[in-house]
Structure formats: C-alpha cells, structure tokens
Amino acid sequence: MTLKTLSAVSGMAIVASTAALAEPQAEVLHYWTSGGEAKSVAVLQEEFAAGGGTWTDMPVAGGGGDAAGTALRARVLAGNAPTAAQIKGPAIQEWFEEGVLADISAVAEAQNWAEVLPEAIAAHMQCDGTWCAAPVNVHRVDWIWANAEVLAANGLEMPTTWDEFNAAAETLLAAGIIPLAHGGQAWQDATVFEAVALGILGAEGFRKAFVELDMDTLTSEEMVAVFDQMRTMRGFVDSNFSGRDWNLATAMVMNGEAAFQIMGDWAKGEFIAAGKVPGEDFLCLSTPGEGFLYNVDSFAMFEVDGQDKQDGQALLAELVVGESFQEVFNLNKGSIPVRTDVSLDNFDSCAALSSADMAASNESGSLLPSYAHGMALRGAQAGAITDTVTAHFNSDMSSADAVQMLADAIANSL
C-alpha cells in the first residue's frame, strides 16, 4: 500500500501505525554538513531512532544545496529515489509535476498542519490540494553578523544603511581588518545580492523584480544602483574569497579576521555551535532596508516501494512538524520554529528579532520569499539571475551591462 492509498485511511490511524509496525526506514538526502547543521540534523536522527526508525544518512556537502540537488536528480533518474530529501520552495512543485512525490496528507491532517502553520508557508507544502512536503523551520536570509569586539575596538556600530555599511567598511580596511567575510560561490553571491536588492529596491521593488520578474523593475535605475553597491562590496572582501565555504567565512568573523558577514541565520548555528553568545561575542541585525526574506527548509518524500520505507516517511513527517523537534532543532540551526504555537522562551535575541520582524513584515506586506534560496522562483529563472550576479561580481562588468545581461537572461529562461 502506498502513502497515497494510506492517505484515504484516517489520519490518526497512520500515525499510530508507524509505532506499531516498529521498523520504519528512511534514507535521507540532505546538505546539512557544517558544524551547526550537523548538530541540528542529529536531533532528527535521534528522534527518528527513538521512534523505532532506522536512518540512513545521505549527506551531500555544499552550501545552498546545489550539489545535493544534482545528486537527487541523478538518483531519481536512475529509478532509485531516496525516501526523503531536503527540498524547498517551487522545487517541491517541480518534483511533484514529475509525478515522483509521495502524498503525506494523512500525517498532515492528523497533526492539523493547516492550523499550526502560517498560511503562506503551508502553501509551499501543498501540491494540487495534497500535502507534499513537511516544513522544518523559518530561516531569515537578510542578516548582517558581526564580531562585537572588532566593532567596539574600531568605534563602530551595526550599520543601518548601506552608506553606513560602506563607511564602516572603509574604517575597517584602514585598520587592516577584512570588512566582509565572503565565500565566492554563486549562491553566496546571490545571498548578498538579494539582501542589497531588498534594501535598495524596497519590498515592493523586490517583489516586482524577483517574484514577478517585472522587466521595468529588473532594468530600472534602482537595479543599476544594486549592482553599483555589489561592485563597492567587491572591494571589501579579501583576495582569497573565491570558492570559500560559507561556514569558513563565518569562522573569519568569529576569530576577528573579518568584521561582518551577510548570510542567513544558519550562520548563527555556527556561532552557537562554537559556544559564542549573541549580543556579547557576535551581533545580529537585519541588513539595511525594510522587509524580511524567508527561507523555509522542508523535506519531501518520494514514491518508494516497501511498507518499512513508507512508514519511515510518515514517521519523519510527523517528527519534523512535532513541537519538541521544532524547538530543539531550531535552537541549533539558527532558525525559528515554523509552527506558530511553539514558545520562543528558550530562544536568543536574534531569534526574537526574527520572529517580531516576521510578524510585522507579514502585516505590512513586506514578508518576501528568498530568491537566492529557492523560495521565490523556479530553478531556471533563479539560475539566470544568479549567473548574472556572479558574472558581474567576478569581473569588471559595468552595472549597466549587468542589468542588460539580467534582462536577457530572464527573457531567455522563460
């Protein structure tokens, strides 16, 4: 019996049956391999084992998940899909359209996901009226992280405008400190770019450009200014930035070699895993500008044969949305719980800021999906933007040429 057939059965029955059958299996493909990420995924492995399951780990190193995406595609094409994989955003719908995802509606209904998840997030997890993915967390992308001691020693505060950021960076350069810890990988370039774009275009401009792909916005003077700021920031990274992993860039901020990093709050997971304290050792603030770029990790299950695997999928889906996992995992991961009913009492000040800003952005219409982390666009369009961003960042291309390349790349990808 497949999960699809099972979903016709009462939701409660399937959750109970996972314990009764007692041998759930799951081979889980994910890209959580850094220090903080490994600690986080270990929480899930422990809960899975405690639920009677056997976990087969398939980690594919590579921040942002590009390598994991390639490995997943190869597995599915070879007819050997993993039981579960870390995929998110529109990619969930793309996999669903290929007819390879399992239906986890039975668990979702039994656990009342529709009630405990924010509507916008629930929508990402639903395919054609069924539940096709289980959400794990809410990561915020538009963050600046800083070494508290380095800022204090140089008489600097967290920047609240891009001009302040540039001025602080000049001061740091003069003091012989690397202003911006950055890893030259396409997805990291895209992460910085979308934070800059949110600040300069504003929330509405960001939505028009990176959700609606509005050509007027993509080719506007403001977009030229976004690339100008990227060019300025190219001058704030060290000469060894190419290819550097994001967690090594975080380590540069931790050890005071660099002052700032612009990265999603999985970076906080690294600081925490290293025993650093927010507000004391490191500082967090949203990047200059209004709005909130969200990035929701999730697991989708693939159609697989075998009751043990299907039970593993049900157990996994049940655990990740469970309250205990939501708290412990997110404390390690740097994100906040995706459920609205999990208390933040044990979370730090950065998480409290994230939660408050998310609620306020939701009210004001500036809660936006991250394009750089696969929440806003399908792969072809997101890839077209990132190719342009990286080509510009790694050359002396003018901002005007970058905007032209952006428009052409988007047009060709549609």
Residues binding ligand GAL (CB under 6 A):
31-32, 37, 63-65, 139, 246, 266, 295, 297, 373
Of 195 and 403, nearer to ligand GAL (C-beta) is: 195
Of 297 and 311, nearer to ligand GAL (C-beta) is: 297
Of 7 and 40, nearer to ligand GAL (C-beta) is: 40
Residue 391's SS3 state is helix
Distance CA 131, CA 112 (A): 11
Token pair of 13 as six digits: 């029955």
Token pair of 104 as six digits: 């986890």
Which whole-number Å values give the CA distances from 341 to 94, 280, 322, 345, in the listed order? 30, 29, 11, 12
Counting every residue written for the chain, the total comes to 414
- State the nearest-atom distance from the C-beta of 367 to ligand GAL, in Å: 17
Q: Degrees (nearest 5) of the Cα angle 159, 156, 36?
A: 70
Q: Degrees (nearest 5) of the Cα angle 278, 343, 324?
A: 100
Q: Are 385 and 187 in contact (CB under 8 A)?
A: no
Distance in Å from the first CA to the final CA of the chain? 39
Which single residue brings its beta carbon nearest to ligand GAL? 63
Q: Are 3 and 103 in contact (CB under 8 A)?
A: yes
- State the nearest-atom distance from the C-beta of 399 to ligand GAL, in Å: 27
Selection from 99, 91, 54, 136 nearest residue 335 by Cα = 136
Distance CA 390, CA 377 (A): 18
Q: Degrees (nearest 5) of the Cα angle 141, 146, 151?
A: 150
DSSP 323-378: HHHHHHHHHHHS-EESSTTS--TTS-HHHHHHHHHHHHHHHHT-EEE-TTTTSSS-
Q: Are 66 and 91 in contact (CB under 8 A)?
A: no
- State the nearest-atom distance from the C-beta of 374 to ligand GAL, in Å: 7
Neighbours of 106 (CB within 10 A): 26
DSSP 107-145: HHHHTTHHHHS-HHHHHHTEETTEE--EE-EEEE--EEE
Helix runs in 117-220, H state only: 119-124, 148-153, 162-174, 186-210, 215-218
